[in-house]
Amino acid sequence: MLAKAMSLFLLGLVRVLTGAQARWYGCPPKAEQRIYFANHQSHADLVMIWAALPQELRSITRPIAARDYWTKSRLRQWITTAVFNAVYVDRARTGEQDPLEPLVQALENGDSIILFPEGTRGHAEEPQPFKAGLYNLALRFPDVVLVPAWIDNIQRVMPKGEVVPVPILCSVTFGAPVKLEPGEERRAFLDRARAAVVALRDA
């Protein structure tokens, strides 16, 4: 009940602040199992892409959240679990545990996920090189559709280090799905995926 109210509040807030516009350019919004991967510039990215998805897809799509940041306070933890149904990942590799394990579990359950392959928020205009996670997941789940997405302008809403967001129109552009070719090298695939995201900037 409270989570539902919170989700409605966040949706309203995101719409008032950013317009939460989704542009489906390369594929339609469809209830198939997908990995959405996008550029990462702000904490609000996660909320933005979540709000841009249509209602029916939002419930079966789980964003990835960095455990160290999103469990720091009880409110953050509650929002990420109760509202976003997020999957936590550890950014710092600890011991033997595979950091991708929670994502693998979510995909095995049939959920779609939202991934930021840069790993951390970037400062620059261009996204940083992608980390290997996307490649490993693509290798392991060949049937899951990989959808690139470009989140535009959101870094202006809430730059790193600021706490009060300001209203600026943003959009999420979803592009044509990318496929891992048989025998494709890891680096080559990651660069191609990154290029697919960057190409949406001017789409």
Partner 1 sequence: MLRDFYHFLRTLTPTEQVAALFFIVFGLLVVISVGAFLMTFRTEGRAKDPKWHEELADFRRLLGTSWVMVVIFWIGWAAGHVVATLLFAAIAFFALREFITLSPTRRGDHRSLVLAFFVVLPVQFWLAATRHFDLFTVFIPVYVFLAIPLVSALGGDTQRFLERNAKLQWGIVVCVYGMSHVPALLLLDFPQRNYVGKGAFLVFFVVFVVQTCMVVQHLLARRSQRPPSIPTVSRSFHWTSWLLGMAVGSMAGGALTFITPFAPGQAVAMAFIACAAGSLGHLVMKALKRDRGVPAWGHRASVTGANGLLDRVDALCFAAPVFFHSVRWYFGV
CA 170 distance to own-chain centroid: 15
Residue 12 Cβ vs partner 1, minimum distance, rounded to whole Å: 13
Judged by beta carbon, residue 101 or residue 162, the one nearer partner 1 is: 162
Q: In what helix (H) or strand (E) does residue 151 lie, and over which residues does it extend?
A: strand 145-152
Q: Report how far residue 145's alpha carbon sits from residue 109's, in angstroms, rounded to the nearest whole number.
A: 15
CB of 161 to partner 1, least distance (A): 9
The Cα-based distances of 195 to 121, 178, 185, 191, 199 in angstroms read 18, 11, 15, 6, 6
Q: Which residue lies nearer to partner 1 by CB, 9 or 108?
A: 9
Q: Nearer Cβ to partner 1, position 53 or 64?
A: 53
Work out whether 53 is an interface residue with partner 1 (CB under 8 A).
Answer: no
- Which residue from 14, 12, 7, 1 is spatially nearest to 168, judged by alpha carbons? 14
**Positions 147 through 166 that interact with partner 1 (CB under 8 A):** 152-153, 156, 159, 162, 164, 166
Tell whether residue 23 is a contact of partner 1 (CB under 8 A).
yes
- Phi, psi of 148, rounded to the nearest 5 degrees: -75, 150
Return d(Cα 70, Cα 61) in angstroms, integer.
18
| Residue choice 18, 39, 41, 85 for contact with partner 1 (CB under 8 A) | 18
Out of 49, 86, 170, 190, name the contact with partner 1 by CB under 8 A: 170
- Tell me which of 27, 145, 168, 199 binds partner 1, using CB under 8 A: 168
The position carrying tokens 């789409």 is: 203
For 46-86, the DSSP string reads HHHHHHHS-HHHHTTEEEEEEHHHHTSSHHHHHIIIIIS-P
Please tell me whether residue 186 binds partner 1 under the rule CB under 8 A. no
Min dist. Cβ of residue 198 to partner 1 (A): 12
**Binding residues for partner 1, per CB under 8 A?**
18-21, 23, 152-153, 156, 159, 162, 164, 166-171, 201-203
